[in-house]
C-alpha cells in the first residue's frame, strides 16, 4: 500500500493553441478557464499559464463598484 498518493500521480499538461482569435475572445477564454479552475479546486490543482493571464483575470473579476 502506498502511503503517499502524490507519488502515484503524474502531472498532466494540456496545451491549447489558437489561431485567428481576437483579443476579446482570448480574454473571454482565459476568464472561462479560470472559472473551470475554481470549480475543479476540490478535485484537482489546476494552473493556468499564458502571457498576461494574471492581468486578464484581475480585469475580469472587477465589478462595477470597483475603482481602477
Q: Give the model's confidence band at 60: pLDDT under 50 very low, under 70 low, under 90 confident, else very high.
A: confident
- Euclidean distance between CA atoms 48 and 40, whole angstroms: 13
Whether residue 4 lies inside any domain: the answer is no
pLDDT at 25: 95
Whether residue 13 lies inside any domain: the answer is no
pLDDT at 2: 55
Residue 37 φ/ψ region, left for φ over 0, alpha for ψ in the -120 to 50 degree band, beta for the rest: alpha
**Structural domains in the chain (count):** 1
* Domain enclosing residue 25, as ranges: 21-61
Q: Give the model's confidence band at 32: pLDDT under 50 very low, under 70 low, under 90 confident, else very high.
A: very high
Whether residue 32 lies inside any domain: the answer is yes
Helix, strand, coil share (%) of the chain residues, nearest 5: 45, 0, 55
Query: Residue 58 pLDDT more than 80?
Result: yes
- Could you read off the pLDDT of 9-25 as tens digits, one per residue? 788 888 989 899 999 99
Whether residue 30 lies inside any domain: the answer is yes
Confidence (pTM): 0.76
Written as nine digits, the cell of 15 is 496545451
Whether residue 33 lies inside any domain: the answer is yes
Neighbours of 31 (CB within 10 A): 15
Amino acid at each position: 500500500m502506498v502511503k503517499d498518493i502524490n507519488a502515484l500521480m503524474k502531472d498532466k499538461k494540456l496545451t491549447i493553441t489558437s489561431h485567428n482569435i481576437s483579443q476579446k475572445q482570448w480574454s473571454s477564454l482565459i476568464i472561462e478557464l479560470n472559472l473551470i479552475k475554481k470549480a475543479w479546486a476540490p478535485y484537482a490543482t489546476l494552473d493556468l499559464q499564458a502571457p498576461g493571464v494574471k492581468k486578464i483575470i484581475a480585469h475580469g473579476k472587477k465589478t462595477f463598484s470597483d475603482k481602477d
